[in-house]
Amino acid sequence: MTVTLPDIEAAAARLAGHAVETPLIESPALNERLGRRVLIKPETLQRVGAFKFRGAYNRLAQLSSQQAQAGVVAYSSGNHAQGVALAARLLGMPALILMPSDAPTVKIEATRGYGAEVQLYDRLTQSREALAATVAAERGAVIVPSFDDPDIIAGQGTIGLELIRQAGARGAELDVVVAPIGGGGLMAGLSTAVKALSPATAIVGVEPEGFDDTLRSLQKDERINIKPTTRSLCDALESPAPGELTFPVLQKTVADVAVVSDAEVAEAMRYAFAVLKLVVEPGGAVGLAALLGGKVKFGKEGATGLVLSGGNVDPELFAQVLRREI
């Protein structure tokens, strides 16, 4: 199923009054460093501290009363978990979230805090898909995917609607938009909206080293499932392959994919904290890391749109980053 601009506009109508329309902010210091205008979309200020609330609420808001009564089940390392948990609470339905036992404690605690039941699993020995299928069968619950779902993609696409409208209100034409890629839900929705409203804008995705599955897939023109040999600082972006629904969209819309190291991500987190005065989690900072590292190609004219996708970083990890221990 293809997600269209009308789907994203319908999602925006459902989200109105529930999701935060995050602002578009600008830093003279960042503009000066990069030699161009950068308009920042801080989804760190979204409900649950990440963009994931948009897609989760759009998906859950369309469940039937019978489905809502049985509830939902989802699996996530954190931000999707919190998005589904809060959306379920707001819509009055039960939610069970499967989370890896090594997920950041701050994300596990926050998910429970939003009222969801949390079940931990071992990501190395257990299949989250199989666990979710078992729970869904036992409870009659609806599985809510983290990215490979039309309603999730449409919900995330509302960021693109806001970005283009807000940039226009500032008299800016976006030459390029930079955003993270994990499974591709954010990028598929965002790029669909942006390309529909501003066809000349180039879309650049950013992935962490060791998890550049989308880049490899685009190069091979087919979905590549990588087998990671290490972990990334960017726990939110450790997807081994782009989604079945998201990948065809990315093939049409994404002009380039940059790859950043953990060291570059840590430096971007420090820059965001010190200069932008924003707390950004590793996965949310990859776009900034790519810009600071000179890894994004620009045209001659126009501004750059940058999505900082989340701010849910473990306090101790963040402290280590600020102390330059990472």
d(CA 8, CA 188): 11
d(CA 14, CA 232): 35
d(CA 4, CA 36): 31
Of 27, 76, 239, 309, the catalytic one is 309
Is 195 an annotated catalytic residue? no
Chain centre distance of CA 307:
9
Cα angle 82, 73, 112 (rounded to 5 degrees) comes to: 35
Asked if 99 and 108 count as a contact pair (C-beta separation under 8 A), the reply is yes
d(CA 254, CA 188): 9
Would you list the DSSP string of 64-98? -HHHHHH-EEEE-SSHHHHHHHHHHHHHT--EEEE
Is 52 an annotated catalytic residue? yes
Q: Is the dihedral of CA 299, 176, 165, 154 positive or negative?
A: positive
Contacts (Cβ under 8 Å, ≥6 apart) of 124 = none
d(CA 299, CA 202): 9
Give the DSSP letter of residue 24: -
Spell out where 117-250 has E strands.
117-121, 142-143, 174-180, 202-208
Of 52, 107, 195, 239, the catalytic one is 52
Asked if 233 and 266 count as a contact pair (C-beta separation under 8 A), the reply is yes
**What are the residue numbers of the active site?**
52, 309
